[in-house]
A and B are shown apart, each in its own frame.
Chain A
Amino acid sequence: MDKTQHTYIPTLVDEMSSGAIGRRDFLRKATLLGLSAAAAYSMAGVAMPGVGVQAEDMPKGGNLRIGMRCMEIKDPHLADFAEKSNVIRQVCEYLTFTDRNNITHPYLLEKWEASDDLKTWTLHIRKDVKWRKGGRPLTADDVVWNLKRVSDPNVGSSVLGLFTGYLVQEYETGEKDEKGNTKKSSKLWADNAIEKVDDYTVRLNCFAPQIAVPEHLYHYPMFILDPADNGAFGPDANGTGPFEMTEYTVGKGAKYKARTDYWGTGPYLDTFEYVDLGDNPGAGIAAMASKQVDGLSEADAVQINSMKNFPHVAVYQVETTQTVVARMHPDTEQFKDKRVRQAMRYAIDRDKVIQTALLGAGAPAEDHHVAPSHPEYAALPKYPRDIEKAKKLLADAGYPDGFEFDMVTRPDPIWELNTAQVLAQQFADIGVKINIKALPSAQYWEVWTTAPFSLTAWGHRPLAIMTLSLAYRSNAAWNESNYSNPDFDKLLTEAEGILDPNERSKVMAKIEAIMQEDGPIVQPFWRVFSTVMDKKVKGFELHPSQYIFAHQYAISA
C-alpha cells in the first residue's frame, strides 16, 4: 500500500468488510482522506460512475443553450447564488469536486493528504493545468493567493464562514459599535496557516481537526482565480476552465467559446450559452416548446408537468438536501417557551405539505436539518402530526387559545409561498393564526435574519455539519433563528472532529434530538430537484447543487 495513505483507511476498509459502515460511507470517507476515487471505488468493489460513456463516444461541436437567470457578477469569490456560480464555473474551476453521489474527488488538485490528527492537509496541485491567457501553469502561489483572499474579512466571501473554526479565528477589534457591543473581526489563526511548500504543493495548518476540508474547497464561491484579475470578472477574465466567456449581459445572457487547450476531458461543444428568460415560469415552457433553449437550469413541478408531454424533452430529477425551514426566534415572547416550538412541529402533516406545495416532489424531513442522505444522519423515531399533543403543549406554555403571529416569506419561487400557505393552514388547526407577509425576494433577503418568524430556503450541502455550523451555532453569521444552545455548540464541535462515521452518528443522534426537543425550526420536507433538457443533450447529469458543467455535455445532431 501507498505510504502516503492516511492511517485511518485500513480501519475504514475493515469497517466496510464487517458491514459496520456502508459502501457509500466508505467511499466518502476514503476519498475525503485523500484516497483516489478510482482506488476507493475499486476497494469498495463497485463501478465508478461516469465511466460508462467514453469521451470518444461523445458527439463533437455545436452550440448548447440553457435558460437561466443571469445576475450581476462582480467578484467570483462573492458569488451568492448557484446561478451566479454557474456563469463563472465554465471559466474558473475548483480545487475539488463533489459529485452527485456526494463523493468528493480531486479537480485542480491531483490528490490531497490529511495528517492522522486531521489538522494538516497537504494539497498537491495538478501540473498540467494552464491558464487561458499566457499559457502559464497553475502554481501553488495562485492557490495560496486565492485561499488567503477568501479568508480576508474585507473581501466578504462566504467561504470565510466555513474556514472559521479551523483556519480562521474571530477576534475582538477593541472598537465599540453604537450599541456599545465590541466589534468583532476575523483573521487567519497563524501566519503559516496557508503555506506554500513548493511550486505545486500547498499545506493547510489548522488549529483544530476538520474532516470536511475537501468539501469546503468545493463551496460554490471557492473558485481559483488568476491573481492578476484581482477578483474582477467579465468576458475578459482569465481562468483554467474549459471555456472562454465572450459576452455577458445582466438580464439577457452569457456566451462562451470552447478552449482548445483545456487540460481535462472535453469540452465537446464549440459554443455554450445561457439565456435569461426572466421570472415568468411560462417563458421557460414557451422557450422549450419553440426550441429556443435546449434546457433549463431548474424547472419546478408545475413546469415539469406541462413539459413532460413534449416529445423532445427529457426530465431529470435528483434528491437533494435542499429544504425550507419555518424558523422561530426563541428570543421573542411567543416562541421563547420550547413547548410552543414543539407544538408548531407537532402541528404539521408533512405528507400533505409535500403533496400540496411540491406536487409530491419531496421527502418528509424531521426538523433537525440533517438529511437521510447526509453521511452523519442518525435515524430517530418519526415525528408524527399530533394535534392533541400540540394543543396541550401550547396550553402548558400559557397559550390555551393559541396566538396570532406574522410569518415573513417570499412569493418567488412559487413553491415557497405555497409551502407557507399550507403550513399556515395547519398551524391554524392548533389555534395559531399565522399571517403571511410575502416580500419580494430582494426585500426578503434584507430581513431574513431579523424577522421573528420566517420561512427560508436552504441550499444543498454534502455534509450536515456544514449546514448546522452555518445556521444554528451561536452567533454564526447565517444564524437566522438567533438560536443559541451551548450543549448544541459543544456537540457540533465534537462531531466536526470525529472521523469514524459510526461514532459521529452517535453524536449526531444527540444533536438531532436537541433540535427536535429544543430547536428553532419546523422543517417540512427535503426537496427533489428537477429540470428538463432536450433529448439531444448528451452527458447531462443533474447535480443536487444545481451546478452546470458545460464541458461534460454534448449535442447530437
Chain B
Amino acid sequence: MANFLLRRLAMMILTMLCASFLVFAICEFTPGSVARKSLGPFATQQQVDLLTEKLKANDPLLVRYGRWLGVLVGAIPDPLQDPATGLNFKDPRGAQYFGNFGYSTLNKLPVNDVIWDRLGNTAILAGLAFLLIVPLSIIFGVLSGLKEGGVLDRTLSVICITFTSIPEFASGVFLVTLFVILWPILPGTSPLNSDGGWAVPYQFVLPVAVLVIYDFGYVARMIRVSMIGVMERPYIRTAILKGMSTRRMVLSHALRNAMIAPFTVLLLQINFLISGVVVTELVFAYPGFGRLILEASLFGDMATLEAATLITVAVAVVTQLLGDLGYMLLDPRIRVR
C-alpha cells in the first residue's frame, strides 16, 4: 500500500511538472512581457526595457522555467521582489521560501495572498453544490434505472436531459429574472459581504442552484445506465424472484455495484466544480477561483496561472487517487498488490 501511494505521489509530481511547463510554454505565445504588465499600460518603452533587462526576461524558455521552479521550492528569491527593480513589490513571507508562487502582475500582490481566499470561496460554493448533486443524482439515477423505459424513467430522463442542456449563463439569467426581478426574494449578486442588505447564506442560493441544475442530470444519467446494467444481472433476478422487497434489493444488493462506475464520474465533478465554475462566478460576481483563472489568463498573469494550474492538477490527481481507493472499497476484487 505504501509503495502504491509513493508511486502515485511520484506520478502526481511528474504530472504537475509537465502541466506547469506546458502552461509556461504556452504563455510564451501571448503578446506582452512581464515587464510591461508589471509597469502598466502607460509606462514608456524605456522603463519597460530597463525592467526586462533587470528581470532577465529575455533568457531562453528553459532557463526561465528553471528559475521559476527555483523560486517555487525556495532555492532562489523571486526576482520581481528585488528592490533593484523599483517595483515596490513586497511579500510579508520574504522573497525566498518553499511554496513561493511568485508575484501576480495582475493583482500586484504575492500569488499566495490572492489565490487561497479565492480557492476557499470556490471550495465552499463547489462543496455546497456537490452535497446536493450527490444525493439528487443518485436518487434520480437509481429510480430511472430501476425500470428502464417506464413512465418514471422517461419523466426523470426528460428532466435530467433538459436541465443538463441549459447552459449555466442561460439558467443564471433565467433564475435572476425570476427570483430577483419579478419576485424579489433573493439577491442577484454574491460578493460575499453582508453589507448589501442580504445575509451571506442567501447569496449562495442562486449560484449553487445554477451549478446543481447544470450538473446533476449528467451524473444521474451515468448512474441510470450503470443501474440498468446491474438490474439485468442474475443475482438481482434471483433476489426479485425470492420475493425480496424492492427497497432492500436496491439498498443492499444493487446500489453498491451500480455505484462502481459512476463513482469516478462523481469524483470528476469535483474537478469540474473547482475549475469549471467560471461562468457561474462571472454571472453572480462571485469572488472565486474560476474568475481569478479567467482574469489571469486574459491578462497573461503567468505566476497566478501557474499556481492555479498546479492547484487544479493537484485536485485532479487527488480525486483520482480517492477514486481508486474508493474502487477498492466498493469492489472487493480490486486490491493493491
Contact = CB atoms under 8 A, between A and B. Distances in A.
B298 A283 contact: no
A236 to B, nearest CB: 14
Given A177-B49, A275-B191, A287-B196, A250 B42 contact: no
Contact of A446 (B41, B108, B198, B281): B41
A252 B191 contact: yes
A250 B107 contact: yes
Interface string B260-294: 00000000000000000000011111010001100
Contacts of B37: 442, 446
A477 interface: yes
A116 B184 CA distance: 63
B196 A65 contact: yes
A440 B30 CA distance: 11
B109 interface: yes
A292 interface: yes
A278 B46 CA distance: 33
B31 interface: yes
Contacts of B187: 286-287, 290, 292
A245 to B, nearest CB: 15
Contact of B180 (A74, A232, A278, A289): A289
A287 B41 contact: no
B208 to A, nearest CB: 16
A16 B336 CA distance: 96
B74 to A, nearest CB: 25
A75 B108 CA distance: 12
Contacts of B227: none
A442 B282 contact: no
Interface in A200-255: 232, 250-253
Nearest to B176: A286
A71 to B, nearest CB: 9
Interface string B178-195: 001100101111010101
Given A252-B287, A276-B191, A290-B188, A448 B41 contact: yes
A51 B83 CA distance: 50
Secondary structure dominating the interface of A: loop
Contacts of A282: 173, 176, 283
Given A440-B298, A478-B42, 15 more contacts: A65-B196, A78-B40, A156-B43, A276-B191, A278-B285, A286-B176, A287-B189, A289-B181, A290-B196, A290-B198, A292-B189, A292-B198, A441-B298, A442-B298, A447-B32
A72 interface: yes
Nearest to A279: B282
B42 A277 contact: no
Name the residue in A287, A290, A439, A477 with the highest tally of chain B Cβ atoms < 10 Å from its Cβ: A290
B173 A63 contact: no
A542 to B, nearest CB: 23
B162 interface: no
B110 to A, nearest CB: 12
B41 A292 contact: no
A78 B47 CA distance: 14
B195 A65 contact: yes
Nearest to B282: A280
B106 interface: yes
B32 to A, nearest CB: 4
Contacts of B46: 177, 183-184
Q: Which 7 A-B pairs have the closest CB atoms?
A: A286-B188, A445-B41, A292-B196, A446-B32, A283-B285, A440-B298, A72-B108
12 contacts: A78-B40, A80-B42, A276-B191, A276-B285, A276-B287, A278-B282, A283-B284, A285-B188, A286-B187, A446-B36, A447-B32, A477-B44
Interface size class of A (residues with CB under 8 A): 35 or more
Contacts of A477: 42, 44
A273 interface: yes
Contacts of B295: 251
A72 B295 CA distance: 13
B165 interface: no
A443 B291 CA distance: 18
B300 A74 contact: no
B108 A291 contact: no
Given A72-B109, A276-B191, A290-B188, A447 B283 contact: no
A293 interface: yes
Contact of A290 (B186, B281, B283, B291): B186
Interface of B: 30-33, 36-37, 39-44, 46-47, 49, 86, 88, 106-109, 114, 173, 176, 180-181, 184, 186-189, 191, 193, 195-198, 281-285, 287, 291-292, 295, 298-300
A381 B201 CA distance: 61
B107 A72 contact: yes
A277 B193 CA distance: 12
Given A286-B180, A287-B285, A277 B191 contact: yes
A291 B30 CA distance: 40
Contact of B31 (A72, A280, A443): A443
A70 B80 CA distance: 23
Contacts of A287: 187-189, 196, 285
A253 B86 CA distance: 27
A302 to B, nearest CB: 13
Contacts of B33: 446
A158 interface: yes
Contacts of A275: 191, 193, 195-196
A41 to B, nearest CB: 36
B184 A290 contact: yes
A158 B88 contact: no
Interface string A70-85: 0010110010100000
Interface in A470-513: 477-478
A280 B283 contact: yes
Nearest to A444: B41
A283 B32 contact: no
A424 to B, nearest CB: 21
A292 B191 contact: yes
Contacts of A280: 282-283, 285
A356 B290 CA distance: 33
A285 B281 CA distance: 15
Contact of B88 (A74, A276, A290): A74
Contacts of A273: 195
Contacts of A442: 32, 37, 41, 106, 298-300
A4 B97 CA distance: 63
Contact of B197 (A178, A291, A448): A291
Contacts of A276: 191, 285, 287
Contacts of B47: 156
B87 to A, nearest CB: 9
A478 B43 CA distance: 10
Nearest to A72: B108
A109 to B, nearest CB: 27
A177 B53 CA distance: 12
B172 to A, nearest CB: 8
A404 B195 CA distance: 53
B327 to A, nearest CB: 40
Contacts of B287: 251-252, 276
A283 B291 CA distance: 13
A289 B285 CA distance: 14
Nearest to B284: A283
Nearest to B46: A183
A376 B49 CA distance: 38
Interface string A179-215: 0000110000000000000000000000000000000
Given A273-B195, A290-B184, A250 B109 contact: yes
B3 to A, nearest CB: 44
A130 B31 CA distance: 47
B198 A158 contact: no
A477 B86 CA distance: 21
A442 B36 CA distance: 10
A275 B193 CA distance: 9
Interface string A415-453: 000000000000000000000000111110111100000
A283 B189 contact: yes
A80 B40 contact: yes
